[in-house]
A and B are shown apart, each in its own frame.
Chain A
Amino acid sequence: MSAITPQLVREHGLSDEEYARIEALLGRAPNFVELGIFSVMWSEHCSYKSTRAHLRRLPTKAPWVLQGPGENAGVIDIGGGDAAVFKMESHNHPSFIEPYQGAATGVGGIMRDVFTMGARPIAMMNALRFGAPGHEKTRHLVAGVVAGIGGYGNCMGVPTVGGEVNFHSSYNGNILVNAMCVGIARADRIFKSAAKGAGNPVVYIGSKTGRDGIHGATMASAEFREDSQEKRPTVQVGDPFTEKLLLEACLELMATDAIVAIQDMGAAGLTSSSAEMASKGGSGIELDLDCVPQRETGMTAYEMLLSESQERMLAVLKPGREPEAERIFRKWELDFAVIGETTDTSHFVVRHKGKIVADIPVHALAEEAPVYQRPLASRKPLVDEPPFVRSKPVIDSLLKLIGSPDLCSRRWVWEQYDWSVMADTVQSPGGDAAVVRVHESNKALAITTDVTPRYCRADPCLGGKQAVAEAWRNLTAVGAKPLAITDNLNFGNPEKPEIMGEIAASIDGIAEACRALDFPVVSGNCSLYNETNGEGILPTPAIGGVGLIEDVHRVATIAFKREGDAILLIGETEGHLGRSLYLREIEGREEGAAPPVDLVAERRNGDFVRWLIESGSVDTVHDISDGGLLVTLAEMAMAGGMGAWVALGGHTPIPFAFGEDQGRYLVCVPRQEADRILAQAETAHVPAALLGQTGGDSIAAAGQGEITVADLKRAHESWFPAFMGAGELPPTN
């Protein structure tokens, strides 16, 4: 075995202090295998050493929260004995290196996190961030990531129902691929990862172990250098066919009572799954690597322990239940092997070829992992110097915005995802939130992912708040009661004080919004070191929100439905243009402060809109976000194939039309209902005003001219296909 040199320690991403701490914990120098184990367990990805202290500030409790952060996924009670199980996770670095497989295995990984809890996945979302459209790599990455997500999710038969796609040069060398999975389980049949008790068999199930993705975890914890391209051999290939069998086999096993604990093998594979299970169960664990199903010959202990081969799970069974479990996995033609047992030594002991190759106190790997209070430098938030706006024709700007990369239709993307399998997708991609019926019930879940990185750059705390508020708003806009979130914190190098400052501030903003909106965090993931050659990404704390719709027949959609409906504007409009897409796309400036978020108004306005939907008086709602009021109106018109007339009356046209003030919605009501609803708004102290009415085949803004819905649609639908059209070969598995 190679001697442990400082060089070797550094190659394992461990600092000198960390190495010294390892020696102290062991009371001796680690051997090579043990060094590898520590390097992954103490990596940022697995240990959360930079963020853990800050994550504690997130509110994680509510009466309906059955499982908060700490398990493979969060769990909330959705009534009738059902539970929703969900989490979002990033696969950023692998997707940059190999977009198809990186994205595909990201999807597979997050699905395992959900079904390892005993849930059947019912919906997938993905939040994607790519570099500037003009950047040489962007088109190739978009093609690969989208095909990879579809290739895996479609084969699994889980509908991919929505997400986000943004373009910005800060992601040129670090794209973000965040995948979210939502599953349904019986609330009293949730499976956890605590390997309690001694003498229980530890079983390995799924695919064989190969030399895949060794050190993926440390790769995800290191800043990119151009030569990281050379880390390529670590890329794993996904096998959705095997994962589908694994899903069905696990659910079949979970229908028995043979399982003590179960956990997917994610980052750092066998090592982290077994060590985490032992740590959570307060037990020890012994593994015999000779029993591990192997795909390649001559694998070393180091390789087997650090391999990130996909489609694998680890379970601890009740003694004597192995044959019953084995029968199930053989039926599904999957590998099954007893590879060890739990012990009362509270040590993590690994045997290979009859020799003990690692012997580490479990707590040293888990609880003793370093936790850092890294130095923070808070960039002071940009204050609004109200950006000077040259007056441009409103309608021309609308057309330009609606066909711009960040606002154009994502049809090209979601038509490659099977969003209709499982026959429960009530609201397909393109709305404010996806709506998926809980199978054979009258209720549904609403799901959304949101964050506005350009706001986060201006003010990370406000940006964090806004991301949560927008998720809450999107769920509200379809008529759902927002219940909880998962988050995926994508940032640069935490060792840089200003980046660490962004992380801390974002978490504060998220926490504040979660508290104000009763919208706790039940799971999440952190992806740091998203930098290339010292260039950090925009701070991107992606929020995945889940809400409950009690009556699936009482949902609102964004499409205009009737000619002559009154269009009401809910919420206060100041005309805030700082950080707006108007400023960026029309004026070419990324300036000013992000729009303020008033959480009290947010809640008041949203509760009113939801009440309108629940009481059946409104079936057409769209929240106002990116692009502002007129863009929102155009989206409703295009979805309904019907125009509208609106008065920008009394306001300076551009800020009113394109400002991105928060906490706002457009709702349509039959004309004769308008006064009643405006009165109800007044009694609820909700700002509401009559904006115009639906009808005709154009969007007409009084005094500003008009444009046909057909022309808008053409611009809206054409950018993506045109962009992806040439030169790219759709990747295939």
Chain B
Amino acid sequence: MKSAVVVFPASNCDRDAAMALEHITGEKPAMVWHGDSELPDVDLVVLPGGFAYGDYLRCGAMAAQSAIMRDVKARADRGLPVLGICNGFQVLTEAGLLPGALMRNADLKFVCRPVALEVNETQSAFTRKYDKGQRVTFPVAHGDGNYFADHDTLDRLEGEGRVVFRYAQSDNPNGSARDIAGILSEKRNVLGLMPHPERACDPLLCGTDGRVLFESLLESLS
């Protein structure tokens, strides 16, 4: 399975994402500079976490305008799987690849801790190897993870089974609508989530629940 990780100015989980991909898929992902206009020929694109453009103005706003995002959109429209983690999720909403917006955490504080998630949907290339309703633990690390969308959009997301991850045990670290932690695009090929699966791939760190997400991709895409 060939993958690419986009590097924006002040992305800072690009290396972590690449490490996880390499360990699990056995192939080094291509690191793609935000200024490039074309993605290499890959099966998966990852928009990593971090503080692209310092999160200035709005998280992800400036990154969403970078040259590479035009091609990311085009390929996503043609069905290429795109995974946006944390800041990557924010970029995806700002770029219009996912609905809604990520607002400042309800308590206005950055929060970094492991959180319990519930896997709501297994009908996706990203989650097929999880069990429906499975409890997993990923760390979160963000100041703007408070997912917002209007009621109709939220109902639609839920109706169409596009809410993939929810904060479990009502342990919601940011006040997001309906405890949403991660959502799919209409075509189900774009996933954005605030928690960090790539930081949950090592028994020495925050457990290995995140591996399954990458293993699902490996199974679906190769």
Does chain A touch chain B in the assembled complex, meaning CB atoms less than 8 Å apart? yes
> What is the interface of chain A, defined by CB distance below 8 A to chain B?
147, 150-151, 154-157, 239-242, 244-245, 332-333, 414-426, 437, 552-553, 729-730, 732
Give Cα A419–Cα B199 distance, bound, in whole angstroms.
Answer: 11
* B111 contact set on A, CB distance < 8 A: 415-416
Contact residue among A147, A245, A437 (Cβ-Cβ distance under 8 Å from B9): A245
CB distance from A719 to the nearest CB of B (A): 17
Tell whether A156 pairs with B54 under 8 Å between CB atoms, given A418-B112, A420-B206, A732-B108: no
**Partner-binding segment picked from B10-18, B90-98, B124-132, B148-156:** B10-18
A155 touches B205 (CB 8 A): no
Q: Find residues 172-220 in chain B having any chain A CB closer than 8 Å to their own CB.
A: 196, 198-199, 201-202, 204-206
- Cα distance A732–B108 in the bound complex, in angstroms: 8
Q: Are A421 and B204 in contact (CB under 8 A)?
A: no
Task: For the complex, give the distance between the alpha carbons of A147 and B110 in Å.
Answer: 8
Flag if A154 contacts B16 (CB, 8 Å): no
Tell me if A155 and B10 are in contact (CB < 8 A): yes
Partner of A240, one of B54, B107, B112: B54
- B56: min CB distance to chain A, Å: 6
Q: How far is the CA of A418 from the CA of B111 in the complex (A)?
A: 8
A417 to B140, CA, bound (A): 11
- Among A156, A241, A245, A425, find the residue whose CB has the most chain B CB atoms closer than 10 A: A241
Is B196 a contact partner of A420 (Cβ separation < 8 A)?
A: yes
Does A332 contact B16, Cβ atoms closer than 8 Å? Answer: no
Q: Tell me which residues across on chain B come within 8 A of A244, comparing CB atoms.
A: 9-10, 12, 51, 54
Chain B, 109-168, CB within 8 A of any chain A CB: 109-113, 139, 141, 143
Complex CA–CA separation, A553 to B201 (angstroms): 16
A-B contacts besides A244-B54, A420-B205, A423-B202, 17 pairs, CB < 8 Å = A151-B110, A154-B51, A155-B51, A156-B12, A157-B10, A241-B56, A244-B12, A415-B111, A418-B141, A420-B141, A421-B16, A422-B16, A423-B19, A423-B199, A424-B205, A426-B205, A732-B108
Contacts of B56 in A (CB 8 A): 241
Among candidates A150, A154, A730, residue contacting B107 with C-beta atoms closer than 8 Å: A730
Interface string of B10-49 (1 = CB under 8 A from A): 1011011001100000000000000000000000000001
| 27 A-B pairs whose Cβ atoms sit less than 8 Å apart in the complex | A151-B110, A155-B54, A157-B12, A157-B51, A240-B10, A240-B51, A241-B51, A241-B53, A242-B54, A244-B9, A244-B12, A244-B51, A245-B9, A333-B9, A414-B112, A416-B109, A416-B111, A418-B110, A418-B141, A420-B199, A420-B205, A421-B12, A422-B16, A423-B199, A423-B202, A423-B205, A732-B108
Q: Which residues of B contact A419 (CB under 8 A)?
A: 112
Nearest A residue to B141 by beta-carbon distance?
A418
Minimum CB distance partner of B20 in chain A: A423
Query: Which residues of chain A come closer than 8 Å to B53, judged between CB atoms?
Result: 241
Q: Are B196 and A154 interface neighbours, CB within 8 A? A: no
Question: Which B residues are in CB contact (< 8 Å) with A245?
Answer: 9-10
What are the residues of chain A within 8 A of B139 when measuring CB–CB? 420
Chain A residues with CB under 8 Å of B50's CB are: 157
Interface size on B, residues (CB 8 A): 33
Q: B13 is contacted by which of A239, A333, A421 (Cβ under 8 Å)? A: A421
From B13, B143, B198, contact of A157 by CB (8 A): B13
Among B109, B112, B113, the residue within 8 A (CB) of A730 is: B109
**A241-B141 in contact (CB<8A):** no
Compute how far the CA of A414 lies from the CA of B199 in the bound complex, rounded to whole angstroms.
Answer: 18
Which chain A residues lie closer than 8 Å to B10 at the CB level? 155, 157, 240-241, 244-245
Chain B residues with CB under 8 A of A332? 9
Give complex CA distance A424, B201 in Å.
Answer: 11
Residues B204 and A552 in contact, CB atoms below 8 Å apart: yes
Which residue of the partner chain A has the closest CB to B13? A421
Hey, which chain B residues are within 8 Å of A242, CB to CB?
54
Interfacial chain A residues near B108, Cβ < 8 Å = 729-730, 732
In the A-B complex, list the 4 residue pairs whose CB atoms are closest, starting with the nearest.
A157-B12, A241-B54, A155-B51, A730-B108
Assembly CA distance A290 to B111 (angstroms): 45
Tell me the smallest distance from the CB of A686 to a CB of chain B, in Å. 30
Give the Cβ gap from B24 to chain A, nearest Cβ, in Å.
13
Q: Which residues of chain B are near A150, meaning CB under 8 Å? A: 110
Assembly CA distance A206 to B205 (angstroms): 35
Known contacts A157-B50, A240-B51, A241-B53, A416 near B112 by CB under 8 Å: yes
Say yes or no: B204 contacts A437, CB within 8 Å: yes
The CA of A28 and the CA of B62, in the complex, are separated in Å by 55
Q: How far is the CA of A157 from the CA of B10 in the complex (A)?
A: 8
Would A426 and B12 be within 8 Å (CB), given that A416-B110, A418-B141, A420-B139 are in contact?
A: no
* Pairwise interchain contact B205-A425, C-beta atoms closer than 8 A: yes
Cα distance A553–B203 in the bound complex, in angstroms: 10
| Alpha-carbon distance A730/B111, docked complex (angstroms) | 13
Q: How far is the CB of B114 from chain A (nearest CB, A)?
A: 8
Complex CA distance for A156 and B110, rounded to whole angstroms: 14
- How far is it, in angstroms, between the C-alpha of A418 and the C-alpha of B50 when the chains are bound? 11
- A244, A417, A426: most-surrounded residue (chain B CB, <10 A): A244
Q: B141 to nearest A CB, angstroms?
A: 4
Q: Are B112 and A426 in contact (CB under 8 A)?
A: no
Complex contacts, B51 vs chain A, CB 8 Å: 154-155, 157, 240-241, 244
Q: How far is the CB of A108 from chain B (nearest CB, A)?
A: 12
Chain A residues, CB < 8 A from B54: 155, 239-242, 244
Minimum CB–CB distance from B39 to chain A (whole Å) comes to 19
Instruction: Report the bound CA distance from A426 to B139 in whole Å.
Output: 13
Give min CB distance, A120 to chain B, whole Å. 10
Q: How far is the CA of A612 from the CA of B139 in the complex (A)?
A: 32
Chain B residues contacting A415 (CB-CB under 8 Å) are: 109, 111-113
Within 8 Å CB of B204, what residues of A? Answer: 426, 437, 552-553
The distance in angstroms between the C-alpha atoms of A636 and B25, with both chains bound, is 39
Query: Distance (Å) between the CB of B5 and the closest chain A CB?
Result: 14
Give the residues in chain B near A732, CB-CB below 8 Å: 108
Docked Cα-Cα span, A241 to B53, in Å, equals 6
Q: How far is the CA of A417 from the CA of B196 in the complex (A)?
A: 15
Residues 68 to 112 of chain B near chain A (Cβ within 8 Å): 107-112
Point out the residues of chain B lying under 8 angstroms from A240, CB to CB: 10, 51, 54
Q: Which residue of B lies closest to A552 (CB)?
A: B204
- By a CB distance below 8 angstroms, the chain B residues around A422 are 15-16
Bound form: Cα–Cα A151–B205 in Å: 23
Find chain B residues with CB under 8 A from A553 CB.
204
A150, B142: Cα distance in complex, Å: 11
Contact B112 A417 (CB under 8 A): yes
Complex CA–CA separation, A423 to B23 (angstroms): 13
If A157-B50, A244-B51 touch, does A420 touch B12 (CB 8 Å cutoff)? Answer: no
Chain B contacts of A418 at CB under 8 A? 110, 112, 141
Report chain B residues within 8 Å CB of A425. 205
CB distance from B137 to the nearest CB of A (A): 12
- What chain A residues lie within 8 Å of B112 (beta carbons)? 154, 414-420
Q: Report the bound CA distance from A423 to B206 in whole Å.
A: 9
Distance in Å: Cβ of B193 to nearest Cβ of chain A: 16
When chains A and B are docked, how far (Å) is the Cα of A241 from the Cα of B55?
8
B192 to chain A, nearest CB (A): 19
Give the shortest distance, in Å, between B54 (CB) and chain A (any CB): 3
Residues of A within 8 A of B12 (CB): 155-157, 244, 421
A154 to B53, CA, bound (A): 13
On chain B, the residues within 8 Å of A423 by CB distance are: 16, 19-20, 198-199, 201-202, 205
User: A157-B50, A420-B139 given as contacts; is B110 within 8 A of A241 (CB)?
Assistant: no
Give A332 to B196 CA distance when docked, in angstroms.
26
Cα separation A151 to B56 with both chains bound (whole Å): 12
Chain B's nearest CB lies how many Å from the CB of A183? 15
- In the complex, which residues of chain A have a beta carbon less than 8 angstroms from the beta carbon of B113? 415
- The smallest beta-carbon distance between B154 and chain A, in angstroms, is 27
Distance from B46 Cβ to chain A, minimum over Cβ atoms (Å): 14
Given the complex, which residues of A lie within 8 Å of B107, measured CB to CB? 730
Q: Which residue of B lies closest to A241 (CB)?
A: B54
In contact, A241 and B109 (Cβ under 8 angstroms): no
Enumerate chain A residues within 8 angstroms of B109, measured Cβ to Cβ. 147, 415-416, 730
In the assembled complex, the CB of A625 is this many whole angstroms from the nearest CB of chain B, namely: 25
For B110, the chain A residues whose CB sits under 8 A away are 147, 150-151, 154, 416-418
